[in-house]
Amino acid sequence: DTAVSQTPKYLVTQMGNDKSIKCEQNLGHDTMYWYKQDSKKFLKIMFSYNNKELIINETVPNRFSPKSPDKAHLNLHINSLELGDSAVYFCASSQDLADTSTNEKLFFGSGTQLSVL
C-alpha cells in the first residue's frame, strides 16, 4: 500500500483552466503539506495543514486553494492556471513535530507533473 498517494501523476492543461490534484495518506499522520518543485529542481513549501487546519501558507497566490476534508486528505485546487504554474507538485505528510522526542520524517508522494500550455 502506498503511504502517500497523489493523483494524477501527469496533468497537461491549457492556460486559464481550473484543475485539482488529490492527495491521500494512510499513515495516520496529523499533518499534510504541498511542496512545489520548479524546473530547476528547487523545492519550496506551499501549504501545511494540521488536523484539517491551515498552518503554513507561504505567500502562494490566491488561485491556489488547498482543501482538507479530513486529516487523511489534502487536495490542491488551482484556478486560472498560468504558464508559470508548470512544475512538479509533491504532497507529503508527517506526525506533529511539536513532540520533538519523536524521530519523525516527511513522507512524500510520488509527485504530480503539471504542464500548462
Partner 1 sequence: AQKVTQAQTEISVVEKEDVTLDCVYETRDTTYYLFWYKQPPSGELVFLIRRNSFDEQNEISGRYSWNFQKSTSSFNFTITASQVVDSAVYFCALSEAWTGFQKLVFGTGTRLLVSP
Residues that bind partner 1 (CB under 8 A): 31, 33, 35, 40-45, 48, 50, 55-56, 88, 90, 92, 94, 96-98, 100, 103-111, 113
Instruction: Provide the 8-state DSSP code for 19.
Output: E
Residue 13 or residue 104: which is nearer to partner 1 going by CB? Answer: 104
Smallest gap from Cβ 92 to partner 1, in A, equals 8
Residue 17 or residue 92: which is nearer to partner 1 going by CB? Answer: 92
Q: How far is CA 34 from the centre of its chain?
A: 2
User: Hunting for cell 501545511 — which residue is that?
Assistant: 48
Helix (H) or strand (E) holding 23: strand 19-25
